[in-house]
Amino acid sequence: MIMPLHSVRWDVVVIRVGIVGAAGYAGGELMRLLMGHEGAVLTKLVSRTHAGKSVSEVYPGFYRYDLPDFQEASVSELADICDAVFLASPAGAAWPWIKELTSLNPEIKIIDIGSDLRLKDASLYEEWYGYTHGAPELLSEAEYGLTELHSAKIQDARLVANPGCYPTATILALAPLIHFGLVRADSLIVNALSGVSGAGRTPGQGYHFPECNENARAYGLLRHRHIPEIEQELAAISKAGGYDGTVSLSFTPHLVPLNRGILVTGWADLASGVNVDIESLRETYEGFYEGKTFIRILPPDQIPQTKAVLGSNYCDISVRVDGRTKRVLVMSAIDNLVKGAAGQAIQNMNLMFGEPEDRGLKSAPIWP
C-alpha cells in the first residue's frame, strides 16, 4: 500500500513545489514538512547524486509515501511545472539556477536555502566564501527571509534569501537589544553550539562518528562565513531603530555531538546610561516579538535548550542582566534543520503566496 500525500483542500492555494538538492538534510526536511502542508504538492525532486532512485532508497523513513523519484537537473522543466522552487545547494551553486529560472519564468518564486542571496555586497562572497558571485544584480532584489523581521517585504518578494542557521538564532536573540539601543553594538560576543547535521550530508573526517562523538570543538575561528551576514542584518536593525548601524561581532561556533540543534549564548555591554532589570528586559522582548508565532520568550526560571525545540519551528529565547559586569546575557535555541533551514523556508513560501505563516509548521517539539 502506498501512503498518499495529504489531500489538497479546495480552499487552500495549491503551490507546485520543486526542490533542488532534495537528497540533502535540508532537502529531506523540506520533504517531511511539506508532506504535512495542506497546499503544497511536491512535483520535482532534483538530486544529481541520487538521480533515478526512489526517495525511500535514500531516506528509508519515506518508504511507501507517494513521492516522485529523484531526477537529474532540468531547469526548463522546473520553470515550467513549479510555482515555487527551493534551492538547497552548496555555496556558489545556486545563483546560475536562479538566473536561468527567473529568465525562463519571471513569475516563479525562489527560496534559496544556501548563501547565494544573503549578502548585499557581492565583493563579500570572494572574501568570505572564496568565489566570485556571477549575478550581483540578484542581490538587490532578494529579500532577507528572517520572517519575524521582514514579513511585509517577503510577501511581495520573488526571491528570498533564507538565513543561515547560526544567523537565525543569533539575530533573533540580539535584535531587540540592538533595535532599542540597550547595548553597545560594538561589544557583541557570541558563542554558538551546533549539532553535526549543520555540516550537511556530505561525508567528512571531522563528522565521522569516532571523531565527533564524545567531543566538542571550536572551528571557523575569527573568520566564520556567517559573520558578515549577521553584522549586515544587525546593522540594518540598528539603523531602523534610529542608531548609526555600527556593529562589531566576535563569533565562535562549536561542533557538539548532537544530531540537531543550535544553542547561542551572547553577551553585550549595556549602553551608557541604560539601566534595566530582567523584568523590563523580558517585557521589551515580548513586545518586540508580539504576535510572532514561532518566538517563545521563556520565563525567568527557564533557559533555552535544544531538546525543547527539536523537530519544531520554534526559537526559544531567554535574557538576563548581569548587574555586576553591566552586561546583558541572551540565549536562544533552534532546530538547525527546521527554524534554521527548511521550516523557515516554508514560512517564507507561505508569506510569498499569501498563506498563513504557520501552515505546515504546527508540529510540536519532540520530547524526549
For Cα atoms 97, 73, 118, give the angle at the middle one, nearest 5 degrees: 30
**Closest to 299 measured CA to CA, from 312, 282, 311:** 282
Q: How is residue 163 annotated by DSSP?
A: P
Quick check: is 165 catalytic?
yes
How far is the C-alpha of 357 from the C-alpha of 344, rounded, in Å? 10
- Name the active-site residue from 82, 165, 212, 315: 165
For Cα atoms 30, 144, 163, give the angle at the middle one, nearest 5 degrees: 45
**Closest to 276 measured CA to CA, from 194, 187, 182, 350:** 182
The helix or strand, by DSSP H or E, that contains position 16, with its residue range, turns out to be strand 15-20
C-alpha cell of residue 234: 544587525
Name residue 4's amino acid.
P
8 A C-beta contact, residue 256 and residue 198: no
| E strand segments, 94-224 | 109-112, 143-144, 159-161, 188-194, 217-218
Helical ranges in the chain per DSSP H: 25-34, 55-58, 75-81, 94-104, 123-128, 137-141, 147-155, 165-179, 209-212, 227-240, 278-288, 343-352
Instruction: Give the alpha-carbon dihedral of 342, 14, 138, 132, to 10 degrees.
Output: 40
Q: Where in the sequence numbering do the catalytic residues fall?
A: 165
